[in-house]
Amino acid sequence: MSWQSAIDDYMNHLRLERSLAEQSVLAYASDMDKLQRFATDIGAEPETMTTEQIQEFLSSLHDLGLNPRSQARVLSSVRGFYRYLMLEEVVDSSPLELVKSPKLGRKLPDVLSLADIDAMEANIDLSRPEGLRNRAIVETLYSCGLRVSELVNLRLSDLHLNDGFIRVIGKGDKERLVPIGRKAIHDIDCYIEQRNSIGQNIAAEAENVLFLSRLGRKLTRVMVFKIIKQCASAAGITKSISPHTLRHSFATHLVEGGADLRAVQEMLGHESITTTEIYTHLDREYLRSTILMHHPRSGR
């Protein structure tokens, strides 16, 4: 099997059987392109790659200037590729069985305070046509802990505001119900009144979409990133933030408030509890900084 044929089959597997978003598939394709280029240079085929050649490939990634985190991501993609080849009985075993991933330092995500989020919302100009929409976007991201892809795909039919829940379609088309607070409900209700005034300008494919552009179309991920950065800038927040920062803040504030980690896992839509456990590290950092700031023996 040629590299291109094997990689094309793997991409179709990711799209059709694993239901990955196109953005994720493209990231896998980029990683596999690096392996294909390396293997072509040394004359290796998918079935003949050895553990030693994979280790040489990892060394080449270092030479290209990729940091350990990026190297680990590429290695994860290649592991998945060879698991797929084993499933299809193209190879009997994976050349990555004895290959260890690069050691990574645990990077804790940036988190906003409640005051930061309040400032972001307070500095939104509600006299502008998009003002109510942007306030509802910030509050929904924060109060429900949504991924940006989940936000842009929210539909009017997913809202069960009288019951205090929204229906969210997460990674792999997995569905979950997420509680929504009174402030988010209020902000969404205010926005929906304005949304309905767009009327006949709403595109047919966006009639059931909650958050719309001024042209009546579904918002893109890039547009939401711009909205969040503009809101942060208007509030005087200098740290680099994204929609995901609001998701991290949601989870961190829950853990700091004593929420059960399993409940946080369910609301975030994490498949594994180990992914959610990063927020216990954030909580410990918060406790440590509190002691250093306020304890008389802290040696300030």
Q: Would you name the residues annotated as active-site residues?
A: 147, 171, 244, 247, 270, 279
Query: Cβ contacts of residue 158 below 8 Å, gap of 6+?
Result: 166, 167, 168, 169, 210
Question: What is the rounded distance in angstroms from the CA atom of residue 254 to the CA atom of residue 181?
Answer: 13
Residues 6 or more apart whose Cβ sits within 8 Å of residue 164 = 179, 180, 185
Instruction: Quickly list DSSP for 171-201.
Output: GGG-EEEEE--HHHHHHHHHHHHHHGGGGGG
Among the listed residues 265, 293, 259, the one whose alpha carbon sits nearest the alpha carbon of residue 277: 265
Q: What is the Cα Rg of the chain in Å?
A: 23
Sequence-distant (6+) residues with CB within 8 A of 273 are 261, 262, 265
